[in-house]
Chain A
Amino acid sequence: MGVTFGKESASRRIVPGGTVSDGPERLLDGSAILTRLQAAVNWGRKYSFFLYPFVTACCGMEFMSVAGPKYDLDRFGAALPRFSPRQADLLMVVGTISHKQAPILVKVYNQMTEPKWVFAFGVCAVSGGFYNNYSVVQGIDTLIPVDVYVPGCPPRPEMVLDGLLKLQEKVAKERWSDWPRGAAPVTPMLKKQE
Chain B
Amino acid sequence: METNVTIKKLSNRFPGAIIETHSHRGDDTAVVKKESILEICTFLRDDEALLYNFMMDLTVVDYLGREPRFEVVYHLFSLRHNRRVRIKARVSEADAIIDSIVPVWVGANWFEREAFDMYGITFKGHPEMRRILLYEGFEGHPLRKDYPIKKRQPLIGPIN
Contacts and interface: CB of A to CB of B under 8 A. Distances in A.
Interface in A110-151: 132-135, 137-138, 141-143
A100 interface: yes
B65 interface: no
Interface residues of B, number: 17
Contacts of A135: 134, 142
Given A134-B142, A193-B137, A99 B155 contact: yes
Given A135-B142, A193-B137, A102 B151 contact: no
B155 A193 contact: yes
B157 interface: yes
Interface of A: 99-100, 102-103, 132-135, 137-138, 141-143, 185-186, 189-190, 193
B147 interface: yes
B106 interface: no
A143 B142 CA distance: 22
Interface of B is mostly: loop
Contacts of A190: 155
B134 A100 contact: yes
Given A99-B135, A100-B134, A100-B135, A134 B153 contact: yes
Contacts of B155: 99, 102-103, 190, 193
A141 to B, nearest CB: 8
B157 A186 contact: yes
B43 to A, nearest CB: 38
A132 B148 CA distance: 11
A193 B138 CA distance: 12
A185 B157 contact: yes
A143 B153 CA distance: 14
A15 B57 CA distance: 87
Contacts of B137: 193
Nearest to B160: A142
A189 B147 CA distance: 25
Contacts of A185: 157-158
